Amino acid sequence: MKKDEILISDHESIKAAASQILGASVRCVVVTNEQGMVKGVFSEGDILRAIVQGVDLHTPLKSIMQPSFHYLHKKDLKEAFRLFKKFGMTLVPVVDKNFILQDVITIHDVFSCFNDRML
Domain holding 77: CATH number?
A: 3.10.580.10
Identify the bridge partners of residue 9 per DSSP, sorted by sequence position.
32
Is residue 93 within 8 A of residue 42, CB to CB? The reply is no
The C-alpha atoms of residue 30 and residue 10 are separated, in whole angstroms, by 9
**pLDDT category of residue 119 using cuts at 50, 70 and 90:** very low
pLDDT at residue 65 is higher than 50 = yes
Of 67 and 59, the one with more pLDDT: 59
Q: Computed from CA positions of residues 65, 14, 82, 86, in that sequence, does the dihedral angle turn out positive or negative?
A: positive
86 exposed, middle or buried (CB, 10 Å; 0-12, 13-18, 19+)?
Answer: exposed
CA dihedral 21, 65, 9, 78 (to 10 degrees): -60
Number of separate domains in the chain: 1
Chain segment 9-51, per-residue pLDDT in tens? 999 999 999 999 998 878 899 999 999 999 999 999 999 999 9
pLDDT tens-place string over residues 92-113: 999 999 999 999 998 888 888 7
Which structural domain range is residue 76 located in?
Answer: 3-118
Question: What does the pLDDT read at residue 109?
Answer: 86
Residues 6+ apart with CB under 8 A from 23: 5
